[in-house]
Chain A
């Protein structure tokens, strides 16, 4: 079971023993890391989740164009593939990274635009090109994009366009920021409530514990979607987007804290009777110090695992709410908002690439679940 991990003041003793060769010791975090590394899927997921958060961080620069830029000429334009070589007109080929332009005709019967790739229209693309201007992190203005057409006026839809001719890839990249941050910030809020109530519940036990447990049981027994919808529907329609965003966060956290509280309570209950905690208590350590320096260090890893497993639930919840039209609203772009477009059966039969945000949701949620599983298994490195 969990061995006492010496807090900071004991660390130098440990170092001296290690240096003297009398004790072979690796810190708790090193052990957790070793154990985690052995879980290959979880390790790969960690890298993937890291990449997804990088995309969220640098969304403006990574997106080829502005997520709101629309062009009715390109309604439901299909995805274009990147090719690296083009004929040079003299029978040979030359190196020109490009996408192929379209011939657009209007089908007179269905009034749909029909896009036929035209290999003669070469739209050269490049890395670090000038495109739509944006303000990076609200700090400085620039118009540099990682990838894009050399001539900003020409179309490049790597994942196709939506019903207003907006670039789906750019919208997904911007949606990543909103959806992934909802997960992270929402879990932060849940963590705060969950730690306080779960900690109180597990540390003091008795009547307080029972009362808090009843509340948790009750919240978990309510069907969440009707509850969330009821709360979300009560939001005044004229609220600005940012306020809606935070309101949704609070609504999701109202349920999200219960799982974290459960984990924290369970750990507190089992830690309370550990020898090192009893020893510290008998030594007359103050309650605050007992919790903060003696119990907390063996809790962190479990909490990190619990929050990693809570993030995907938050993301799925936000996606469902926004999909139903009661969560985030355009012009905010989140994965759920993007998936609203798939409600129209005619649109998806014409433009199946509208499912792309759904694929992204599944990948992100899977990666977070695997990562959380791996962390949970590694959380207690002393356990065989």
Chain B
């Protein structure tokens, strides 16, 4: 098992390298180098930057050098924990991102768990009682969930809550709790806010997962081993949960590979709509003002988050299916 994990960890290195290259390309795309953008911005506010400071900045990020050198300096900095500076905030990037990335990770993982908890039983039920009323309702809701952009769900929820309940549902904490230390009250307050983004983000993914689980299980239900178990007189519940579900759950676990990127993508839009203190609004703002080091760090880290999530799902998969870790 340990060997398998080490193998997978080593396998992440080229992927991380590819993501960093891609991010670097995105950072480089806007015209002009960032030092001149920075100077222009400062000049607008009436501050003049002396040439020595400007030169120091250029040297630090290798702006005068070739692209390879710039890339090396950028990646080298990141490996030491230096993501560059954000011009808009006039702060080192790593002071801005960690808390927000943490929130993004938290919301994404919570959503993933909720999606699994909901879609697993419904998927099993839909497959076992195929073409039942519940199956049809689940299918219809599933198709609707997949067809509705999740930012639209968020806005409709905002609209309903402000029209009918007269409250705004944005944010993740009530103003009183933002600065308060950790406490039960704070946790309860957090959960009372967090269910909204979790719900909004979870709809389309849950719909897709129900269909995956249903299809997987349908493939298994008519196999001879199920018939054998039934012929031996095993109770129906025990039989289904014990054997075909165990087989069908493997592809279900591996869905993390595409659910997680979709969640992080969706989180970006939904948290912009709901005004959550996560990475999404920060990235959007950074991209709009071409604050490229900040944007780059966030894109890189969301890619990294997906890699870690996929790793975790692979380990889970290896735990549940010995064929994978032994091959």
User: A361 within 8 Å of B by Cβ?
Assistant: yes
Within 8 A of A (CB), among B268-296: 268-269, 272-273, 283-284, 287-288, 290, 295
Interface size on A, residues (CB 8 A): 39
User: A319 within 8 Å of B by Cβ?
Assistant: yes
Decide yes or no: A221 and B257 within 8 Å by CB, A226-B265, A230-B26, A319-B149 being known contacts. Answer: yes
User: B18 within 8 Å of A by Cβ?
Assistant: yes
A316 to B266, CA, bound (A): 12
User: B261 within 8 Å of A by Cβ?
Assistant: yes
Binds B, one of A72-80, A89-97, A105-113, A365-373: A365-373
1/0 per position for A217-235, CB-CB distance to B under 8 A?
A: 0101111111101111110
User: A349 within 8 Å of B by Cβ?
Assistant: yes
Binds B, one of A48-56, A263-271, A321-329: A321-329
A369 near B146 with CB under 8 A, answer yes
A326 near B310 with CB under 8 A, answer no
Number of A-B contacts (CB under 8 A): 125
User: A282 within 8 Å of B by Cβ?
Assistant: no
**From residue A128, how far is it (CB to closest CB) to chain B in Å?**
34
User: A312 within 8 Å of B by Cβ?
Assistant: yes
Chain B, Cβ-Cβ closest to A234: B29
User: A236 within 8 Å of B by Cβ?
Assistant: yes
A316 to B145, CA, bound (A): 13
Chain B residues, CB < 8 A from A342: 152, 155
A358 to B65, CA, bound (A): 48
User: A299 within 8 Å of B by Cβ?
Assistant: no
Binds A, one of B70-78, B157-165, B243-251: B157-165
B287 near A326 with CB under 8 A, answer yes
**From residue A5, how far is it (CB to closest CB) to chain B in Å?**
29
A370 near B307 with CB under 8 A, answer no
Within 8 A of A (CB), among B5-30: 15, 18-19, 22-23, 26, 29-30
B155 near A229 with CB under 8 A, answer no
User: B303 within 8 Å of A by Cβ?
Assistant: yes
Decide yes or no: A226 and B283 within 8 Å by CB, A326-B288, A369-B143 being known contacts. Answer: yes
Q: Is the interface of B mostly helix, strand, loop or mixed?
A: helix
Counting chain A CB atoms within 10 Å of each CB, the highest count among B31, B144, B149, B299 belongs to B149
User: A343 within 8 Å of B by Cβ?
Assistant: yes
Q: Is the interface of A mostly helix, strand, loop or mixed?
A: helix
A225 near B307 with CB under 8 A, answer no
User: A85 within 8 Å of B by Cβ?
Assistant: no
Chain B residues, CB < 8 A from A233: 30, 287-288, 290, 295
A374 to B15, CA, bound (A): 36
User: A362 within 8 Å of B by Cβ?
Assistant: yes
A369 to B306, CA, bound (A): 27
A-B contact pairs, 29 of them (CB 8 A): A218-B15, A223-B302, A224-B262, A225-B268, A226-B268, A226-B299, A227-B26, A229-B284, A230-B26, A230-B299, A231-B29, A234-B29, A316-B149, A323-B269, A326-B284, A339-B152, A342-B152, A343-B155, A349-B162, A349-B163, A352-B159, A355-B155, A355-B159, A358-B156, A361-B148, A362-B144, A362-B152, A369-B143, A369-B146
**B-contacting residues of A (Cβ < 8 Å)?**
218, 220-227, 229-234, 236, 312, 316, 319-320, 323-326, 339, 342-343, 345, 348-349, 352, 355, 358, 361-362, 365-366, 369-370
- Counting from the closest, the 7 A-B pairs by CB-CB distance are A234-B29, A225-B265, A233-B287, A230-B26, A365-B147, A223-B264, A366-B147
Known: A220-B261, A236-B31, A343-B273. 10 other contacts (CB 8 A): A221-B261, A223-B264, A223-B265, A225-B269, A227-B26, A230-B287, A233-B295, A355-B152, A369-B146, A369-B147
